[in-house]
Amino acid sequence: MTRAPLALAAVAVLFGLTALSAPARAVQPDDELGEDSGLGLLRQAAHAVRVQAYYGTQFVTMWNPEGSSSSLVDVTSVPGVGITVKTMAAGEAVPGTVELVDPATPAGGLAAPHDGMIDVMARNFEVTTAGEGRVCGRPTRIVEVMRPGGAPAARYWIDEASGVILRREILDAGGRLARASAFIDFRLPEQAKPGAYTDGNAFFAVADAPALKAKGWDFPATLPGRLELFSADESENGYLQLGYSDGLSMVSVFVQPGTLDEEGLRGWHPQRRGGHTIWVRDSVGQEMIWASGGHVYTVFTDAPADMVDAAVSALPHEAEPGVLARLGRGAQTVLAWLNPFA
């Protein structure tokens, strides 16, 4: 990953791509039931990413409060298996960055979101077709995701021939780019035949939320920025993993019991955000750690910075527990002993 020079190149490439892929016709009203609707195109694209064999080089840029980060990634899709991602530098794969990932994961760039995530997108935004464009010289259909006020939240360029998403842009509430990825080289194998893919059974670990809250875990069902809780899972190691999504991005929150050992954080530095002390580190995505009320929160996300700041502010930021908290724990324990139905 290269920082500033690569970022400048990324902006230039993205502007060039934007010029080449300018919409050729006006925005069309969306029809959610039609295959040519914005949502229909996105569902077809998600399926195509899983079943279509392709390979190419992708340029990925993320903007966060500290600046921007860009990287070149070689992507190879193996139908029914996943996509191989190699981070490139000077024409060579960076050691340790080769991964076979699911295209529906953040590591896969959320290139093939599941239907549940697209449904959330449909609830939170207006998804419309926005004309046609070109990426890597290939004709594409453009799908635009609009906020309720009319501001753009995301844009997708979908290859007409293969249905694969060739370019994607995520914007913050101010219309500024937060994450952009685009193929600068995209190829389909000759005589490529779509493979089979069985969509995994949808699971919603949120059903466990009441049981987790009964065990003392406290977490919100929604976060600012239309982020909805889609999974809550307690690990055997005693920490809680929460997943939130607005249909475009994903926020992972890990909650551990304990106080934060700040001296043990290597490579992290404290920042004041929204009146709270947050530990951050330089990375492609946004990574944050803070302590609150006897718990340590760790957040990973590629969502726009303004949305992340609002979400982090909505999560607990309490003082460290004192004597009263300990007495409260004791009272809860004694009541549990006395409760015959516990």
Q: Which residues of the chain form contacts with other proteins (CB under 8 A)? A: 50, 80-83, 96, 98-108, 110, 113-117, 119-120, 199-204, 230-231, 241, 243, 245, 250, 252, 254, 256-261, 264-265, 287, 289, 294-296, 298, 300-301, 321, 323, 325-331, 333-334
Structure tokens of 3?
């920082």
**Nearer to other proteins among residue 5 and residue 96 (C-beta):** 96
Q: Indicate the SS3 state at residue 233.
A: strand
Which among 130, 167, 124, 164 is positioned nearest to 37, based on CA atoms?
Answer: 130
**Nearer to other proteins among residue 18 and residue 259 (C-beta):** 259
Which among 80, 41, 76, 52 is positioned nearest to 199, based on CA atoms?
Answer: 80
**Nearer to other proteins among residue 6 and residue 121 (C-beta):** 121
Question: Min. distance of Cβ 68 from other proteins in angstroms?
Answer: 20
Tell me the CA distances in angstroms from 184 to 51, 161, 239, 261, one per residue in order: 21, 17, 41, 44
Question: Min. distance of Cβ 118 from other proteins in angstroms?
Answer: 9
Q: What is the DSSP letter of 201?
A: P
Question: Min. distance of Cβ 238 from other proteins in angstroms?
Answer: 10
Tell me the CA distances in angstroms from 203 to 79, 111, 139, 208, 231, one per residue in order: 23, 19, 36, 11, 9
**Nearer to other proteins among residue 15 and residue 203 (C-beta):** 203
User: How wide is the angle at C-alpha 201 spanned by C-alphas 198 and 204, nearest 5°?
Assistant: 150
**Nearer to other proteins among residue 264 and residue 275 (C-beta):** 264
**Nearer to other proteins among residue 46 and residue 166 (C-beta):** 46
Q: Please state, in angstroms and rounded to a whole number, the distance separating the CA atoms of residues 218 and 333.
A: 17
Question: Min. distance of Cβ 289 from other proteins in angstroms?
Answer: 6
Q: Indicate the SS3 state at residue 89.
A: strand
Question: Min. distance of Cβ 323 from other proteins in angstroms?
Answer: 7
Question: Min. distance of Cβ 181 from other proteins in angstroms?
Answer: 15
Question: Min. distance of Cβ 86 from other proteins in angstroms?
Answer: 12
Q: Indicate the SS3 state at residue 340.
A: coil
CB of 193 closer than 8 Å to CB of 199: no
Burial class (CB in 10 A: 0-12, 13-18, 19+), 99: middle
Question: Min. distance of Cβ 286 from other proteins in angstroms?
Answer: 11
Q: How many residues belong to the chain?
A: 342
**Nearer to other proteins among residue 102 and residue 126 (C-beta):** 102
What pairs with residue 165 in β-bridges? 158
**Nearer to other proteins among residue 99 and residue 126 (C-beta):** 99
